[in-house]
Amino acid sequence: MKNNKKILISEFINQNSLENLNKKFDVKYDQKLCENKIELETIIKDYDCLIVRNKTQVNSNMLKKALKLKFIGRLGVGLDNIDIEYCKNNNIHVQPATGMNADSVAEYVVSSSMSLIKKIPMFHNGTINGEWPRTTIKSIEIKQKYLGIIGFGTIGKKVAEYSSKNGLKILAYDPYVKEINNKEIDTKLSSLNEIYEKSDIISIHLPLTDETKNMINKSSFALMKNKPIIINTSRGSIINEIDLIEAYNKNNISGFALDVFEKEPIESEFYNKIKPGMNCILTPHISGVTTESNIRVSDFIVKKITDFFN
Ligand SMILES: NC(=O)c1ccc[n+]([C@@H]2O[C@H](COP(=O)([O-])OP(=O)(O)OC[C@H]3O[C@@H](n4cnc5c(N)ncnc54)[C@H](O)[C@@H]3O)[C@@H](O)[C@H]2O)c1
């Protein structure tokens, strides 16, 4: 029998998970609703539950109109698009899909760090331009290189686990982690400066907060001694993008993979700075989105909603 609770979904969800939810609740699904703030703010008053990804801005303006709302399901993990403080004060439960896309992100970090340390984007560009750059571009191996992980939570740990299997030495910075209990994650807790000084690859796995905004900037790049590869799959605003491009152009870093950006989709002001032949990989916020993770994330949130309302 159907529960009478009403659920609104404003971004894409896995089809099977949606069908399961439909059997149990009264569901409205419109994956373009995240782009229509006015419509969303008009109809939200009728719903007990809202399911979003990262495009729906769940701010206090919207929440003030959500008089029946008791549960927000986040199909992913970053909560920077949701006013958590308002939710806490108004008894609205916010449920991220913790860990459900960690494997996808870790695979992205491993594959992009491998590609960039081997200069694959540069070889590709030279080859398709008829230059055959077999001896002009030098690449190196990943084994025994230092990987610095900034933010050692669910994804940071998964990246450490995957990368140590490829022979990397792992350093991690996270002031909220006092010790590493899992012996299988062979990682040394380090200061931020040690990471900047020693790393050949730096991967960022932080939430976007007042503390982490613009955390990696000109002064951080100046401390990087080994011209590392920079990988950001967390949130764009954590790295200063202008300083990053400048650091690359000055040869302070030797490549970068960005899956997240200060403005998404990226604008010409930014992408015009990216030239063919640069050792970089840019992707449209997909590191956590694979067929498998979409199923895991969606099923997880559907189960949490079912438990919550039954
Ligand atoms: N691109 C994508 O598709 C994608 C997918 C999943 C997650 N993400 C992003 O990755 C982030 C990390 O995800 P997670 O599941 O590992 O989160 P998590 O909460 O498990 O881990 C975050 C870690 O960062 C640490 N931290 C917080 N503030 C810090 C600071 N100032 N300095 C150093 N460390 C600090 C925390 O102690 C925590 O251990 C998310 O917040 C999200 O924004 C992106």
CATH number, domain with residue 210: 3.40.50.720
Sign of CA dihedral 181, 212, 218, 246: positive
C-alpha 205 to ligand 1 mean position (Å): 5
Q: Is residue 278 domain-resident?
A: yes
Name the catalytic one among 74, 205, 285, 296: 285
Can you give the three-state secondary structure of the chain, one letter per residue? CCCCCEEEECCCCCHHHHHHHHHHCEEEECCCHHHCHHHHHHHHHHCCEEEECCCCCECHHHHHHCCCCCEEEECCCCCCCECHHHHHHCCCEEEECCCCCHHHHHHHHHHHHHHHHCCHHHHHHHHHCCCCCCCCCCCCCCCCCEEEEECCCHHHHHHHHHHHCCCCEEEEECCCCCCCCCCCCCEEECCHHHHHHHCCEEEECCCCCCCCCCCECHHHHHCCCCCCEEEECCCHHHECHHHHHHHHHCCCCCEEEECCCCCCCCCHHHHCCCCCCCCEEECCCCCCCCHHHHHHHHHHHHHHHHHHHC
Torsion angle, alpha carbons of 133, 135, 139, 141, to 10? 130
User: How many domains are there within the chain?
Assistant: 2
User: Do 274 and 201 share a structural domain?
Assistant: yes
CB 69 within 8 A of CB 47: yes
Name the catalytic one among 74, 235, 241, 296: 235
19 labelled catalytic: no
User: Do 126 and 64 share a structural domain?
Assistant: no
User: Do 232 and 195 share a structural domain?
Assistant: yes
Measuring from atom 37 of ligand 1, which residue has the nearest CA? Answer: 176
Model confidence at 90: pLDDT above 90: yes
User: Do 59 and 120 share a structural domain?
Assistant: no
C-alpha 195 to ligand 1 mean position (Å): 17
- Confidence at residue 256, expressed as pLDDT on a 0 to 100 scale: 98
What range does the domain containing 41 cover?
6-97+291-309
C-alpha 134 to ligand 1 mean position (Å): 39
Q: Is residue 78 domain-resident?
A: yes
Model confidence at 184: pLDDT above 80: no
User: Do 215 and 93 share a structural domain?
Assistant: no
Residues with CB under 6 A from ligand 1: 76-78, 101, 105, 151-156, 173-177, 205-207, 211-212, 233-235, 259-260, 285, 287-289
In the predicted model, what is the mean pLDDT of residues 128-145? 97
What is the average pLDDT value for the chain, to the nearest integer? 97
Q: Compute the distance between CA of residue 43 and CA of residue 9 in angstroms, rounded to an integer.
A: 12
264 labelled catalytic: yes
In the predicted model, what is the mean pLDDT of residues 173-180? 95
Q: Is residue 109 domain-resident?
A: yes
Q: Each residue of 242-281: pLDDT tens digit? A: 999 999 999 999 999 999 999 999 999 999 999 999 999 9
- Confidence at residue 251, expressed as pLDDT on a 0 to 100 scale: 97
Model confidence at 186: pLDDT above 90: no
Q: Compute the distance between CA of residue 274 and CA of residue 149 in angstroms, rounded to an integer.
A: 25
Model confidence at 120: pLDDT above 90: yes
User: Do 269 and 146 share a structural domain?
Assistant: yes
Q: Is residue 142 domain-resident?
A: yes
Measuring from atom 39 of ligand 1, which residue has the nearest CA? Answer: 153
Q: Compute the distance between CA of residue 308 and CA of residue 310 in angstroms, rounded to an integer.
A: 6
Q: Each residue of 207-250: pLDDT tens digit? A: 999 999 999 999 999 999 999 999 999 999 999 999 999 999 99
Q: Compute the distance between CA of residue 248 and CA of residue 142 in angstroms, rounded to an integer.
A: 20
User: Do 264 and 158 share a structural domain?
Assistant: yes
Q: Compute the distance between CA of residue 265 and CA of residue 285 in angstroms, rounded to an integer.
A: 9
User: Do 107 and 254 share a structural domain?
Assistant: yes
User: Do 305 and 257 share a structural domain?
Assistant: no
User: Do 154 and 32 share a structural domain?
Assistant: no
User: Do 126 and 79 share a structural domain?
Assistant: no
User: What is the atom index within ligand 1 of the atom nearest the CA of 105?
Assistant: 5
Q: Which residues pair with 280 in a beta bridge?
A: 256
Q: Which has the closest alpha carbon to 262: 208, 211, 206? A: 208
Q: Is residue 239 domain-resident?
A: yes
Model confidence at 298: pLDDT above 90: yes
C-alpha 235 to ligand 1 mean position (Å): 9
Q: Is residue 1 domain-resident?
A: no
- Confidence at residue 103, expressed as pLDDT on a 0 to 100 scale: 98
Q: Is residue 159 domain-resident?
A: yes
CB 81 within 8 A of CB 52: yes
User: Do 90 and 77 share a structural domain?
Assistant: yes
74 labelled catalytic: no
pTM for the structure as a whole: 0.96
In the predicted model, what is the mean pLDDT of residues 138-150? 97
Task: Determine the angle formed by the axes of helices 15-24 and 291-309, rounding to 10 degrees.
Answer: 10
Q: Is residue 139 domain-resident?
A: yes
Q: Which has the closest alpha carbon to 186: 157, 211, 213? A: 157
- Burial tier of 290 (Cβ tally within 10 Å: 0-12, 13-18, 19+): middle
